[in-house]
């Protein structure tokens, strides 16, 4: 009869068991694939890079991953990497903090005041149109060669990314929320800090995330142009000494630092209430 339950150990019960097992295995495989694919892609890229360097492409132009790794080990062993790493991290952190405070602060002022917006916004846009690298010689004249011009370039580069994102969020605050703030009797400053700014948090965090990357860009370029310390200096010094492994090693460290910095900001954004 069709109602009969197959007895354990019979062929029919075995077939049923076999048909059910893949349903338990497939989800595990599907969960593992998203993590395996990026790792496999990176591994394949490194293998192709290693095999190409010195064969298809001269190692003078592109150093192999093994040569880059050996260079990093040598730098780590004698403290060379730590010295310049601290210089770059200090410059990036300082420029990012200053750019964030000034960028968000100015965005709050311009986004909350029509008068300030009309007067100052054209100057901000005008400054944004000037290539930041073109200001590096001016910073050298003002601050000399060293840590300060690199930080100044980092601040200026990151500032615009932070400002424009925060400004967009503040200017697009819900009118209903602003009406509520007026009903509650909030002053202009209270509306800006307790209503507009919290409502624009996603825009602000996006600006900070992009600003962090641009802070790295600005500081490293400043170190290349006007400094004797930092990873940017390491890159240009290695290039002048015809050391492609040193150039790539510096680029790898910069990329890793930027990735960690952005990941930290993403984590902070996910764990921020509201």
- What DSSP line would sit under 101-147, residue for residue? HHHHHHHHHHHH-HHHHHHHHHHHHHHHHS-GGGGHHHHHHHH-SSH
All structural domains of the chain: 9-56 (no CATH), 65-270 (1.10.3720.10)
How do residues 208-253 score in pLDDT, each as one tens digit? 989 988 998 999 999 999 888 999 999 999 999 989 999 999 999 9
The pLDDT of residue 179 is 66
The percent of residues above 90 in pLDDT, for the chain, comes to 38
pLDDT, one tens digit for every residue, the chain (274 residues): 445 555 544 544 444 444 455 555 555 555 556 668 778 887 888 888 778 877 777 777 888 888 899 999 999 998 999 999 999 999 999 999 999 999 999 999 998 888 988 999 999 999 999 988 888 888 888 988 889 999 999 999 999 999 999 999 888 877 777 767 777 777 677 777 777 778 788 889 889 989 988 998 999 999 999 888 999 999 999 999 989 999 999 999 988 887 887 788 778 778 766 5
13's tokens: 């019960």
Counted residue by residue, the chain has a size of: 274
Q: Which two tokens stand for residue 197?
A: 């700014």
Q: What is the pTM of this model?
A: 0.74
- Tell the burial category of 39 from Cβ atoms under 10 Å away from its Cβ (0-12, 13-18, 19+): exposed
Alpha-carbon dihedral angle through residues 250, 255, 258, 259, given to the nearest 10 degrees: -150
- Tell me what pLDDT residue 1 has: 47
SS3 230: coil
Give the count of alpha carbons within 13 A of 10, CB side only.
8
**Angle, helix 244-270 to helix 80-112, in steps of 10 degrees:** 40
What pLDDT is stored for residue 182 in this prediction?
72
């Amino acid at each position: 009869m069709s109602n009969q339950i197959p007895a354990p150990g019979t062929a029919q019960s075995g077939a049923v068991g076999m048909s059910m097992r893949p349903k338990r295995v497939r989800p595990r495989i599907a969960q593992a694939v998203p993590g395996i694919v990026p790792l496999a892609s990176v591994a394949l890229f490194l293998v192709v890079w290693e095999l190409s360097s010195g064969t298809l492409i001269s190692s003078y132009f592109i150093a192999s991953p093994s040569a880059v790794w050996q260079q990093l080990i040598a730098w780590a062993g004698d403290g060379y990497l730590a010295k310049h790493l601290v210089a770059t991290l200090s410059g990036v952190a300082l420029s990012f903090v200053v750019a964030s405070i000034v960028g968000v602060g100015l965005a709050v002022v311009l986004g909350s005041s029509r008068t300030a917006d009309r007067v100052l916004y054209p100057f901000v846009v005008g400054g944004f149109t000037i290539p930041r690298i073109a200001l590096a010689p001016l910073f050298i004249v003002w601050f000399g060669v060293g840590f300060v011009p690199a930080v100044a370039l980092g601040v200026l580069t990151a500032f615009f990314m932070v400002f424009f994102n925060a400004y967009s969020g503040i200017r697009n605050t819900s009118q209903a929320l602003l009406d509520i703030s007026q009903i509650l009797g909030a002053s202009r400053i209270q509306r800006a800090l307790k209503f507009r700014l919290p409502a624009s948090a996603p825009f602000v965090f996006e600006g900070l995330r992009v600003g962090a990357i641009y802070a790295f860009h600005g500081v490293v370029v400043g170190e290349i142009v006007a400094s004797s310390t930092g990873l940017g200096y390491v890159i240009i010094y290695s290039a002048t000494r015809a050391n492609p492994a040193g150039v790539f090693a510096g680029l790898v460290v910069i990329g890793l630092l930027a990735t960690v910095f952005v990941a930290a900001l993403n984590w902070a954004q996910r764990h921020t209430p509201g």
